[in-house]
Structures are given as C-alpha cells and as structure tokens.
Structure 1
C-alpha cells in the first residue's frame, strides 16, 4: 500500500503533534484513520463526538485497546479532537492506511525489514486453511503481509509488549484482517494444552544476544520449556532456545523460519546444540544474510534458518552476503535479491550447496555458509600465520578508572595505545601520556617492529609499531601484540593483511554473536603468503611509502581544518 502525493508518515507526524511518543503517534494515526473510514455517515458531527465514536469503534476489538485509547483521549489528552479530525480530512484514506501499515517500529528500525519479510514469506508460502504463527509478532507487519498474500489462512501472533500488542490489534481491526493476537510470553503459549505442533507455519525474529541463562531469568516459561524439551546440554545462546520453540510449534509437515545472529551459526560453545538439531533432522536450510540488513537496529551478520522435521539427508546452505543495495550503511534486499536467494536455495551453484551430516561433523557443525562457499583465495607461498609468530599476547585490560589514574599531561616517555589510536594502518603520534608503567605490565608493552592486530571490531585493524629508544608503549586489551620471527618482514605482513585478500582471510576468522571477535587461535590459523625475503622487502618498502603519503595528507587535512576555523576571525 502506497502513500499518495500528500501523504507520508513523516508529514503526518509533523502535522499531528511534536511531543508524542511513537506509541501515542501511532494510536492517533489509527484514530484518524478510523474517523476517515467513518466520515461518510458521521462527517457532520461535532469533532469531539466523531473522535469518541472512532475510539469506541476501535475499542470493540479488545479491552486492552479500549483502555489504551481511553488513556490517550481522556482528560489529559495531548491533542485536540479538532486536530485529529483535521488530520483525517487532510489526508487520503490510502495515506493514513499506509501509515497504519508502516507502524512506528518499522520506521524506527526494530521491525523485520521488508526484504527479509518478503524472503521469509516466500519460503513459508502460507496456504488456504493453514495455521500460521509469528512468535514475537511486534506490530504485526509480517502477519499483515502474510494475510495479504493468502487471506484464507488463519493467522496468530504472540507479543509480550502490551503497547506493541495494542498497535497490532488496532491495525488488524482497522484493516478487517481478523488476526488473532495474544499478549504474553511466547513460551507460555506452549504450556497450554493443544498448542504444541498445532501450527503449519511459524516465524520468529526473536531478540538477539540474550544468553540462555539470562533468558531463563527473564522468562520462567522459557526455562521450563527448555528444561522439558531439550535433549542436549543447554545452549549458551538464547537463539537456539527460540529455534527449539519454533520446532515445537509446527507439526510433522510444518515449516518454520527463524532469524538468528551469524555467531550462533558457528560459535564453538553451541556446537553441541547444532549437532542435536542436525541429528534430529530439524534444520533444512541456512541463509547467511548481508551485514547491515537490520541497520540501524544492529549491523552484525545475521542468518535465516529454515526449520522442519525429518530432514536427515543434509543441510542446504546459501551465501547471500553479496546481495542487497547499500544505502548509508543499511543494506536493502529488493525483489531481485529475494528472487536470487530463492534460486540459490533451489539449486547448487557458486553460492549454495547441501552439506551432509558427515561434512558438518568435520567442521564442528558450523552452519555459516561463507565458510564453505567463499572463493578460494590465490595466495603465493601459503603458510599459516602461526608459523611466523614468535610470541603473541593481548594488551593490558585496564579499567577506565585505572587508566584515568595513570594518565598525565607531562611527556614521560611512557604512552598508552588504544584501538582508536590506529587509523589507516598508522599509529597516532599523539598517544596519551602515562605517569609510569608498572613492571608487572611490562609484558603488555609494544616493541619496535611488533605487529598489532585488533581483537574486536570489523574490519580488523593492523599496524606495525615504531617505538623510539627509551620510550615505552602500553597496548590496550583489544590489541594482539605479535612479535614475529625473522622469516617475515612485519611491513610485508601488514601490507598483506591490509589487502583485499588479507581482509577476507581475517573476516573469515572472525566470530561472535553480537560483537565481532578475532580469537588468537583462529588468527594463528589464517593463511598468509611467505615469499622470498627480497620480494618481502620490496613490498614492505612500497607499503611504507604509501603510509608516509597518507600521513602527509593527514597533516595537510589537519592544517586546512585549523585554517577554516580561523577564517572568520582573520582581519580583512
């Protein structure tokens, strides 16, 4: 549904009110829409009466909705009835209907993106007579789209947040879709008799980054559910508890789709639960989605998992990380992208294949598609990174209060190197000064020529330390200090790790659920080139020359910025 020329949620918002919360705004839009739908019969009534009639009309659908609207339109209402009627009269039916369908959370970025919704619904493909549930249904965007695809199916949503639940009920009632929403913990649904296995299709874009233990503390129903239902050691990631819920929701011939973090597909701590799912035949396919598809809500890599019963022949893996359109850090999946993913899901190719249980077992049941499908890199004289490492240690993990106590303004020859002090392969020449460095922290100090590699973040930062005689530089805990043996030039290695090929090697080694992390053991296993020293020195010299060039441009930029700041105060 599209806005007309006058419409648009931002315009409606600016016309309607300026201080309302998103929940209030959405409720007002719903009221305005109800007024618009009712205007033919009651257009001549007093504005207060028209608004009251609209509230009563909407309130019939649910007691919680009625209470919510009564609070909004009570004695302390923050918008007049005249203004609501004016909004209804200013905008077309289609514009207000579009605003209702958008919902506040879709605009704020916390709803499932439309491209992901389209992909999930294309996989689930609701059919007439089927029972379809969305666990954690939000404002009902996915269920609304599903209902438009197949009006003859029966739709259900479970949402724990009452304000969001109210909005979903309003939307369903206004559109006349008859979606059955339940306000409560999705796990508690399956304590009710007859709920387990009673759905043909299920979906959940569940909360991410919740450790299973924390999930149990927040939901007694989740703890009891996992205690009764699992047949494996309890998972570390809450993602797999939610996935187990989806399995329990559907019957033997049912299909479910969950959206989980990329880390839960490959982290070592959940290997046992992934094995259990594979052994039970519950995983049909996994699709690695592009990073940024959920931006600005989160920018990490995510994985769509297709669940069902009886699939013991292998797991279909699809790499879709190369798809989507970049728009200021946000990646949008369009119709063509969704079509391409479905094509990859249907047949083998460069970006898709089926992994047998034996292949998965050999790889700790890693379900991250790019691990198996990424293009094999052509690296001359390949060796493991660990072959050239003499020592490797992390920097010092200091609390902010401890660092504040150590820092000073006087140049003592002792400095602190943080992650932000490395930019474009160059270490800042203006590091924070330290009063002194305790001898106990000596092992965390950087030596001249050490290779520095960041532990967290994406992309990984790399630099070579240049420490003047008599100075000491203490590295932060988010840096690996790598002292290399004499088989490799540190600048040659830094040049490789900064290249597109080296960046891909580092990226493939990164793990983590919500925070990208490079483990020391994984770093040591990446492949690097180890060409003859003459060739290394040639590459190193060119790399250092480019770093010097970058440094010169940075100095010119700083000078220009300073001059811009002084232009107004200069005498004419």
Structure 2
C-alpha cells in the first residue's frame, strides 16, 4: 500500500469512527459512501461560490436535511444516479438526531480540512472505502495476477459474473486509462447482492467508466434457449465458495451442456455459465478451490470440458489470500482459442509456496511468485515442482483430476520408481464409521469395542481410551470397521497425517470416520514395507498431492487407492519387511526402557527432596 493510500485509509477510519456505536458497520460505510460521493460531486460540479455557500449552509443548518435534499437533487438531475443514493441511504431524515447531525457535520469538516492533492485523490478515497463493504471483494493479489495474464489492449468486451463492487473492472479501467485506451472496452456485470450492486454502479459512474451495464440478478437464474446469448472477449468470475443450489433450475437451461452439478456445490454451474458467455475467441479466468478440481461428483463435467480442450491452465495459489478465510484457492483459465502449441495440453502451476503476510489476517503472492507465474504462463516454460505442460491423455489416466500437485509432485515422484502398483490393487482401503453425537451416546450402552479417533493415534502408537467405547449397530461393522493385526491406520481428516500399525496383542476396536484402515494382502505386499513407505518424505509428499478439502484437509479412500507405490519382488520385500519390523520393535523397546528409567530416576531424586511422587 502506498503512503498516500495509507493516509486516505486513516481518514476513512476517523470518519467511520464518528458513526461507530450508533450504526452498524454496513450502515456506516453506506452513509459515508453517500456523504463522500456528494462531497466529491459538489467539488466537481459546483462553482467556487456555490461550494462556499453550501459550506455556510452546512455550518448554519441541519446537515441531515441538507444532505437529504442534495442527495435527491443529484438523483433527479442525473438519471444514471437514480435510486443509487436512496438505495444506500433511504433518507438521511431517518437518522435525524443530534448525535448523527454532529457526526455528519464532523465528517464533512474532516473531508474539507484534509489536503487532497486533486479530485482524483478524493475519488480514490471513495474507491478505498468501497473495499470495506462487507466481505465482498476479490483480493488485490488475485486481481493483479488475473490482469497480468491477459492482453487488455486486445479485449473489447469484459464481463464479471458475481461482480461484487466491480473492483476488478475498476482496476482494468485504471490500467486502460494509463494506456490512453479507456473507450476500448465495454463492461457487463451481474451481482445478486443489492447493496454491492448499488455501490458498483456508484463507483463506475464516479470513475466515469463508459460503456457499462451492471445488473442486479442471480447468475444462476434459469435462462431460456430463446433468450439472446450475450458473449464476451474476456470473463472474470470470483464465485462464492461451496454454495448449494437448486439444480432443478438447470433443466432446459442451455448453459449446462457439460452436465448438471450436484446440489451440494454450484461451482461448475457458475463456470459453465462463464463458458456459455464466451465468444469463439474468448478467454476466462475463474477462482475456485481444490475441491472444485477433484470432486468425484463432478468428474463427468470436468471430463466433458477437458475432452473439448477448453482448459488452458490451472494455477494453485497460496492460502489466506482472502481476509476472512485461510483456504487456498485456484485459478482456472478457460480459453476457446488456445495457442497452437498448447492444444491437447493443460499448464499446471503450483505457486502455493510463494506467500507473504500483509497483515494479521491476510497474505499476498510474493513478487517473485507473480513473476514466475507470468513467465511460465506466457512462455510455456517448465520447472520441477513448479510448472509443467501435461497432455490431456495423462489427465484422463488420473480420472480427470485437475489437482496441480498430482502432476507436479506426485507424478514425478511416482516416475522415480522402476516399478509401481496402485495401493488399491494390493490392499483394501476403508474409511471408518461416522456417528452423530446421539448415535455415539446410544452405542456407549453395553459397549463391546473401543472407538478410535484422531486423538488416539500418536507417534505411530494406538491409545485405547477407556472413556471411548461403543457397541456395534450392525453385524457388518465387525467386518467393515473393526481393526485387525497388521492393519495400517491413517487419519483421513486434519492438517497433519498420522499413521499407526495394529500389533498383537491388540484390543477390539472400531475406527471413526476420521480414520481409514489400509488392510494389506500379505500375498501381494508386505505391510511393514508399506507402513514405512507411507511415512517417508516421498510417501507423505505423494499423499499430500491426493488431499482435498478447503478449510480442513481430507483424504478420500477412493483417491488413496490410486496412490502409486513402489513395487518390489515379494521375497525381497518380506526380507526387508522383517528387518523393518525388528528394527521398529527394538526402537519401541528402547523407548519404553528409557521412559521407565527416566521415571524411576526422577522418583528417586524427588524422594531425596522429601517429595513422594507416585505419578
């Protein structure tokens, strides 16, 4: 942030502080937007004599009435402003009390006394203020990266679906203005939130954006096949994460030619809307999450889009780019006219490590990261663990997953082995039972088995908690969810992957839905070899490439079955496996011996001090 923007933000904070405690943050921002916009328009449209007269009236009369009158006058004089001010603040007269009158008068005095270098700075204050509205707004890091990945001078029509306050296009406009090409591009935006829509219209009007049309509507409202199809050169869409939707609306809707997404996630409904509105030479960049790229329920949609070669690139971004959530995000670049040398390929870029903190709640992409992404995208270069061009045929072999880590990390690691086999071919992988709190409490009566959870797996050991025991609900639980000797347990949820092996003697136990059992076929693989491989640095990196989830990392058993593990001759594996088993046993015995020795020596020393410690 520039020093001048920091000063403008400080002025915003001081003005909002005048309203704090009397109005909500949303109300305060809307009031300040209207007040500062009126002030800006007065500065821009009134003569020096008129401005002086308005200032005197402000000092002598009720500021509430003065603002209300001026707000309605501006709307009557400019039909493009009609309904915007009065939509944000229905009437200042509703706030007619002495405290509000004093606060608004102080705000106008603050604006009048601040040394703006020019009217553009006052306009920048309004733009910065709009960024404080609610939780809306694409992070500056994503906006700048997106616009670096397009040639703005070649775009004649720009659309933003889920446009928020139009912050992305305002940055487009700023860049075009710097190039002297402000009349080059038309802008179309759709936004469901009424206040965001009104603020968006206000900003484009104050910034004097030509050729725009912003509509207040739900992007996913059904459209008719008879409706005229709007198409654009470039589309951006930062869609809401994890939104459920009424998929019945998709019936007979021409946008969903690649398939209807499930009710639980509308991501690919939004993306298909984008594809539908691209012209034949069009390009689009959308924001998604890791789940968007790998969910099995949407594989048919990804398959159709990938088979039609509409995806140019997938870019994995750092976590925490949004101030209100720490989830990691992905950019999907669609292109209906890919360069000749990219046909039948997808560029995968993993920039997740190029992160820098900008405040307590938010990160940005480092300058180095931005530079490397741009260079890789525009030049098609490849770099180990950062970027690769992957043939569509290989993506098919990965069941149309678009997880960049699978191709930049997992695939390279897999190819480092001479022979491999999929985990699902040598072992059964099964997730534990998911119980509600009520079910768990009911099954605690007449308990027969321990109930293992993440907390019970630590340092490769299983802890059997006497306070966590249940009985089975169905007899098939004894086969599906009960542990056996030589089972490998792995956590299927959480930020850190944990492992443990079930050893003899063991206690009868079921595993919860937060764990999975890997039950190795001893005729095809050695359990100890597998256990140590999974815990190795290579194994953990490969498993990391299979993880999904946004706020919580998940390992789906069906994806775990696709894990490629090194394959060795059975006799050799059993020989090494037996040595690994012995080594593990010796290690654990030494640890136990050392722990016992520590406790005994501690107890003896404390006794010398007259402290009887039996712990």
Normalised-by-shorter TM-score class = 0.7 to 0.9
In structure 2, C-alpha distance between the alignment counterparts of 1:127 and 1:148, rounded to whole Å: 13
The corresponding residue for 1:477 is 513
Q: Deviations over 1:297-348 (max 9, x none)?
A: 3514423223334678223313133443254685411444222211111222
In structure 2, C-alpha distance between the alignment counterparts of 1:30 and 1:468, rounded to whole Å: 70
In structure 2, C-alpha distance between the alignment counterparts of 1:330 and 1:468, rounded to whole Å: 49
The corresponding residue for 2:608 is none
In structure 2, C-alpha distance between the alignment counterparts of 1:11 and 1:548, rounded to whole Å: 62
The corresponding residue for 1:23 is 26
Q: Deviations over 1:379-430 (max 9, x none)?
A: 789754738966543322222211122347x9x7853223354456555565
Match of 1:48 among 64, 67, 74: 64
Tell whether the 8 Å contact from 1:243 to 1:258 is kept in structure 2 after alignment: yes
Aligned length: 542
In structure 2, C-alpha distance between the alignment counterparts of 1:123 and 1:362, rounded to whole Å: 29
Match of 2:110 among 74, 77, 90: 90
The corresponding residue for 2:10 is 7
Q: How does 1:415-494 map to 2 (within 5 A)?
A: 415-422=450-457, 427=462, 430=465, 432-434=467-469, 436-437=471-472, 440=475, 441-443=477-479, 444-447=481-484, 450-465=487-502, 471-484=507-520, 488=526, 494=531
The corresponding residue for 1:216 is 247
Secondary structure of the 1:296 match is: coil
Tell whether the 8 Å contact from 2:9 to 2:125 is kept in structure 1 after alignment: no
Tell whether the 8 Å contact from 2:65 to 2:93 is kept in structure 1 after alignment: no
Residue 290 to residue 29, structure 1, CA distance change in 2 (3 Å): same
Tell whether the 8 Å contact from 1:382 to 1:527 is kept in structure 2 after alignment: no
In structure 1, C-alpha distance between the alignment counterparts of 2:591 and 2:15, rounded to whole Å: 51
Q: Which sits farther off after the overlay, 541-550 or 518-527? A: 541-550
Tell whether the 8 Å contact from 1:419 to 1:479 is kept in structure 2 after alignment: yes
The corresponding residue for 2:238 is 205
Tell whether the 8 Å contact from 2:482 to 2:509 is kept in structure 1 after alignment: yes
Shift of residue 57, structure 1, vs aligned partner? 6.3
Residue 422 to residue 62, structure 1, CA distance change in 2 (3 Å): farther
Whether 2:291 is the aligned partner of 1:255: answer no
Secondary structure of the 1:253 match is: strand
In structure 2, C-alpha distance between the alignment counterparts of 1:357 and 1:171, rounded to whole Å: 42
The corresponding residue for 1:33 is 36
Whether 2:563 is the aligned partner of 1:526: answer yes
Secondary structure of the 1:201 match is: strand
In structure 1, C-alpha distance between the alignment counterparts of 2:152 and 2:276, rounded to whole Å: 18
Residue 233 to residue 377, structure 1, CA distance change in 2 (3 Å): closer
Residue 22 to residue 201, structure 1, CA distance change in 2 (3 Å): farther
Tell whether the 8 Å contact from 1:389 to 1:482 is kept in structure 2 after alignment: no
In structure 2, C-alpha distance between the alignment counterparts of 1:370 and 1:335, rounded to whole Å: 22
Secondary structure of the 2:413 match is: coil
Secondary structure of the 1:463 match is: strand
Shift of residue 463, structure 1, vs aligned partner? 3.0
The corresponding residue for 1:270 is 298
Residue 150 to residue 63, structure 1, CA distance change in 2 (3 Å): same
In structure 1, C-alpha distance between the alignment counterparts of 2:421 and 2:365, rounded to whole Å: 37
Q: How does 1:119-138 map to 2 (within 5 A)?
A: 119-127=145-153, 130-138=156-164
Tell whether the 8 Å contact from 1:58 to 1:174 is kept in structure 2 after alignment: no
Residue 203 to residue 34, structure 1, CA distance change in 2 (3 Å): same
In structure 2, C-alpha distance between the alignment counterparts of 1:120 and 1:539, rounded to whole Å: 52
Residue 414 to residue 398, structure 1, CA distance change in 2 (3 Å): same
Match of 1:368 among 381, 403, 427: 403
List alignment gaps of at least 5 residues for structure 1. 556-572
Match of 1:167 among 189, 199, 222: 199
The corresponding residue for 2:374 is 342
Q: Which sits farther off after the overlay, 86-95 or 375-384? A: 375-384
Q: Which sits farther off after the overlay, 281-290 or 375-384? A: 375-384
The corresponding residue for 1:536 is 580
The corresponding residue for 2:607 is none
In structure 2, C-alpha distance between the alignment counterparts of 1:338 and 1:309, rounded to whole Å: 24
Tell whether the 8 Å contact from 1:290 to 1:323 is kept in structure 2 after alignment: yes
Q: Deviations over 1:22-76 (max 9, x none)?
A: 4312212213323543365422223234432553366454444233244362425
In structure 2, C-alpha distance between the alignment counterparts of 1:124 and 1:482, rounded to whole Å: 46
Residue 357 to residue 474, structure 1, CA distance change in 2 (3 Å): closer
Q: Deviations over 1:531-571 (max 9, x none)?
A: 6136524763687589979999xx9xxxxxxxxxxxxxxxx
TM-score (norm 2): 0.74
Shift of residue 7, structure 1, vs aligned partner? 0.9
The structure with the larger Rg is 2
Residue 28 to residue 415, structure 1, CA distance change in 2 (3 Å): same
Shift of residue 271, structure 1, vs aligned partner? 3.5
Secondary structure of the 1:132 match is: strand
List alignment gaps of at least 5 residues for structure 2. 44-50, 600-615
Q: How does 1:97-108 map to 2 (within 5 A)?
A: 97=123, 100-102=126-128
Match of 2:355 among 325, 335, 353: 325
Shift of residue 183, structure 1, vs aligned partner? 0.9
Secondary structure of the 1:252 match is: strand
In structure 2, C-alpha distance between the alignment counterparts of 1:279 and 1:453, rounded to whole Å: 35
Tell whether the 8 Å contact from 1:198 to 1:251 is kept in structure 2 after alignment: yes
TM-score (norm 1): 0.79
Tell whether the 8 Å contact from 1:426 to 1:547 is kept in structure 2 after alignment: no
The corresponding residue for 1:559 is none
Shift of residue 504, structure 1, vs aligned partner? 1.2
Q: Deviations over 1:163-184 (max 9, x none)?
A: 2212222333343335532111
Whether 2:241 is the aligned partner of 1:238: answer no
Whether 2:331 is the aligned partner of 1:303: answer yes
In structure 1, C-alpha distance between the alignment counterparts of 2:586 and 2:165, rounded to whole Å: 56
